[in-house]
């Protein structure tokens, strides 16, 4: 499956692209099953929100059409979608008329160990903290050096994900996934208005949980609350839900609400 | 003058480059005069520091050799140097063996209004604040969405630069330059250990000022101190020094220390 740039097969792009120069753009990592992206509406909604907040005049209808066609050609795998503000002149000022660039890359579906979903994973406690920047919080933008530094903190195969806290110590998310907790039957996930990436699986699980009458809270979470949670799990749009078994000495059982949401995630992903 | 990628003429690069995917890289904006980059040692020192902190195994000697050759070919203008961690696989984890990519782009020297250096400039008070991230502070890395958002706040020609404060309100820098103040004869500039870009002209001016026996302080600066400064000026490695005349109702005279450092900057830049 070839990659596409602006709707045409291509493996390269201009060195003038502002995505390269400044990380001036957004991306989506999209599971493709049976020739279609199961969480399409969530991905498109987040992309639209990101374009609005960054002022990138993307043709969303065209982007959707291309993504659907790309997914049909891919069949099974991962479509990585990137949108940048396009080529720039020298300097930070966005060009008066930006021509956003649309990039679609294909990859095989990652082979995660079966145990991650069944028995749960160990979290590596990252020392890289997330800076608080409300203007960029929640967006899946192309400024991802914090995640690069955090992911470089461990190389062993024992830790499937890393725990990221913000500079104030709050528990926020994984390096490439969102984090949920269960406290006295309440489903809890971090408020992402200062930092963090608002994942599409997080959004879909929150919607599903509310629709099923579960009690849900989105708010700041201290490290103590995290440690004292009854259940902890991770989610993203590729692996669905992984229970979290432990982080540096703290252990959690794999609980019933985690299993329930794991089934919901599988349904959402057509697995 | 063609652009170079990895030492060869090229205008494009792989869509797998981690500079595009994550802003996983660094850049330098380098004045070229008479076929050479006058602040070469400062640029190379900052680049070396950035590579060390981000763990990018750049061949610094090769980069320097290429930059010198590129500058000789360019003659007069601006060389933009970008270094990325090179192509990546899917995911944030740096590849076990990274092959950094070296990019050199040429541009004409920007035509700044003569008045900026002579009579000084007006600062636009940006509402975009700089997040505090000690692990990235000072680096000229490719995660520059804060600068993109800040620079998009004004389009008029009256404001030559914007004032950037951090999320705690401290006065840090311009959008594309560093900020100095003079207080009772002391030269003052912001500590950049939480945020900001440590400009090469800032470093060169600090060295020159110390060498000339001027009193210099690098520390946190409140907005009140900024407003009450005797002199305010901006610097970068392209325009040298611009006096700051005003920001939203506050005015400063163009003072003697500003003029002194303006002459030093011109000498440093061979103007």
DSSP string, A121-169: EEEEE--PPBP--TTTTB--BS--HHHHHHHTT---SSEEEEEEEBTT-
Query: CATH topology of A4-107 equal to that of A114-268?
Result: no
What ranges do the domains of chain B cover? 4-107, 114-268
A222 given a catalytic annotation: no
**Mean pLDDT (chain B, rounded):** 97
Task: Inform me whether the pLDDT recorded for B271 exceeds 90.
Answer: no
Shortest alpha-carbon distance between residue B176 and chain A (Å): 8
Query: What is the model's pLDDT at position A27?
Result: 98
Residue B213 pLDDT: 96
Quote the pTM value: 0.97
pLDDT in tens, B90-149: 899 999 888 999 999 999 999 999 999 999 999 999 999 999 999 999 999 999 999 999
Chain segment A8-31, per-residue pLDDT in tens: 999 999 999 999 999 999 999 999
Element (H, E) at A79: strand A77-84
What letter does residue B33 receive in the DSSP assignment? B
User: Has residue A133 got a pLDDT over 90?
Assistant: yes
Q: Which residues contact A246 (CB under 8 A, 6 or more apart)?
A: A122, A123, A252
Residues making up chain A, counted from first to last: 271
CB distance B131–A131 less than 8 Å? Answer: yes
A107 pLDDT band (50/70/90 cuts)?
Answer: very high
Question: In CATH, what number does A4-107 get?
Answer: 3.30.470.10
User: Which residue in chain A has the smallest CA separation from B160?
Assistant: A93
Q: Is B249 on the interface with A (CB under 8 A)?
A: no
A15 vs A21: CA distance, rounded Å: 8
pLDDT value of residue A271: 78
Tell me the average pLDDT of chain A. Answer: 97
Task: Provide the terminal-to-terminal Cα distance of chain B, rounded to the nearest Å.
Answer: 22
A-B CB pairs within 8 A amount to 167
Does domain B114-268 sit in CATH 1.10.760.10? no
- How does pLDDT run across B230-250, given as a tens digit for each residue? 999 999 999 999 999 999 989
Upper half-sphere CA count for residue A3 (Cβ side, 13 Å): 20
* Interchain contact A16–B (C-beta under 8 A): yes
Task: Among B133, B177, B239, pick the best mutation site for testing chain A contact (most A Cβ within 10 A).
Answer: B133
A56 close to A85: Cβ distance less than 8 angstroms = yes
**Cβ atoms within 10 A of the Cβ of A228, count?**
12
| Window A:91-130, CB contacts with B under 8 Å | 91-94, 103, 105, 107, 110, 128-129
* Mean pLDDT in residue range A116-123: 98
Which residues in chain A have Cβ-Cβ distances shorter than 8 Å to B151?
91-94
The pLDDT score that the predictor gives to residue B78 is 97
- pLDDT, tens digit (0-9, with 9 covering 90-100), for A228-267: 999 999 999 999 999 999 999 899 999 999 999 999 999 9
Please, are residues A92 and B147 in contact by the beta-carbon 8 Å criterion? yes
Name which of A15, A92, A141 is nearest B3 (Cβ-Cβ). Answer: A15
pLDDT digits over B6-18, tens only? 999 999 999 999 9
At B98 the pLDDT is 87
């Amino acid at each position: 499956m070839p990659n596409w740039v602006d709707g045409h097969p291509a493996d390269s792009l201009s060195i003038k692209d502002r995505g390269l120069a400044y990380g001036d753009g957004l991306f989506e990592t999209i599971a493709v099953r049976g020739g279609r992206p199961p969480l399409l509406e969530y991905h498109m909604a987040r992309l639209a929100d990101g374009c609005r907040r960054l002022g990138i005049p993307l043709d969303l209808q065209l982007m959707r059409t291309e993504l659907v066609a790309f997914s049909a050609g891919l069949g099974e795998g991962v479509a990585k979608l990137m949108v940048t503000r396009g080529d720039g002149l020298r300097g930070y000022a966005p060009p008066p008329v930006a021509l956003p660039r649309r990039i679609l890359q294909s990859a095989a579906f990652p082979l995660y160990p079966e145990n991650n979903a069944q028995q749960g994973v160990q979290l590596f406690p990252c020392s890289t903290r997330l800076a608080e920047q409300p203007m960029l919080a929640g967006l899946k933008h192309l400024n991802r050096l914090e995640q690069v530094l955090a992911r470089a903190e461990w190389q062993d195969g024992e830790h499937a994900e890393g725990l990221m806290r913000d500079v104030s110590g709050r528990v926020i998310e994984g390096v490439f996934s969102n984090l949920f907790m269960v406290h006295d039957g309440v489903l809890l996930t971090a408020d992402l208005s200062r930092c963090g990436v608002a994942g599409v699986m997080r959004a879909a699980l929150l919607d599903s949980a509310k629709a099923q009458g579960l009690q849900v809270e989105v708010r700041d979470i201290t490290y103590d609350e995290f440690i004292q949670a009854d259940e902890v799990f991770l989610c993203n749009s590729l692996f669905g839900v992984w229970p979290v078994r432990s982080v540096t000495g703290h252990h959690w059982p794999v609980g019933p609400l985690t299993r329930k949401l794991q089934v919901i995630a599988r349904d959402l992903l057509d697995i």
